[in-house]
């Protein structure tokens, strides 16, 4: 779409009549509201006629002016409560069912030296669970075989990907113990 002289003249006429950019775009066809606004600014059209549909409404006087002061209202009595118990619900907590943690044999927790990995020996199929302090010489990665698409071995996946309910339960037991 190009801005021909006829289209520019129609744009000027409709803008002067007070039509909105969306209405003008609809009249012209093939242009967007933003294209109309851009062309109006490039042409330097500023003054607009006020549309007749938006007539000025007379303002009502404010209710709190000194000339029209209503009689003071009496405060309505509020029920007395102690503390913040007005919205307290009488809900007894659900019983907490403790699940027995599955203890893995200690042999699985110890990574043999032959399976330990450094940053240089990690592959797509090795466990990337960090063990130790990275600032020390004895830092290494687990290095055991991991499933496809998962960065950790089965043991470390159980640690890294805990269900939300288990994490909340663990937080509660730690908080109660402390």
Question: Average pLDDT of 96-124?
Answer: 71
Q: Quote the pLDDT of residue 113.
A: 77
The pTM for the full model equals 0.34
pLDDT tens figures, 59-71: 666 655 555 556 6
Q: Which residues make beta-bridge pairs with 145? A: 126
HSE (side-chain half, CA atoms, 13 Å) at 52: 1
> What are the two backbone dihedrals, phi and then psi, of residue 5, each rounded to the nearest 5 degrees?
-60, -40
CA dist 17 → 20, 26, 37, 45, 96 (Å):
9, 15, 15, 12, 72
Q: What's the DSSP call for residue 33? A: H
Question: Average pLDDT of 105-134?
Answer: 79
Which of 29-33, 43-47, 71-75 shows the lowest per-residue confidence on average (mean pLDDT)?
71-75
Q: Quote the pLDDT of residue 90.
A: 65
- Spans of all domains in the chain: 5-43, 106-177
């Amino acid at each position: 779409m190009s801005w021909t002289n006829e289209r520019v003249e129609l744009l000027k006429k409709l803008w002067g009549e007070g039509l909105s950019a969306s209405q003008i775009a609809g009249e012209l066809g093939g242009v967007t509201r933003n294209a109309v606004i851009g062309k109006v600014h490039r042409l330097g059209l500023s003054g607009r006629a006020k549309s007749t549909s938006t007539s000025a409404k007379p303002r009502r006087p404010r209710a709190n002016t000194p000339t029209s002061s209503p009689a003071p209202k009496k405060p309505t009595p509020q029920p007395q409560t102690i503390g913040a118990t007005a919205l307290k619900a009488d809900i007894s907590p659900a019983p907490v069912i403790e699940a027995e943690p599955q203890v893995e044999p200690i042999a699985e927790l110890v990574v043999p030296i032959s399976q330990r990995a450094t940053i240089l020996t990690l592959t797509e199929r090795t466990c990337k669970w960090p063990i130790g302090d990275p600032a020390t010489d004895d830092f290494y990665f687990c290095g055991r075989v991991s499933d496809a698409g998962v960065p950790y071995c089965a043991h470390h996946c159980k640690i890294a990907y805990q269900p939300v309910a288990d994490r909340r339960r663990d937080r509660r037991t730690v908080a109660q113990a402390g």
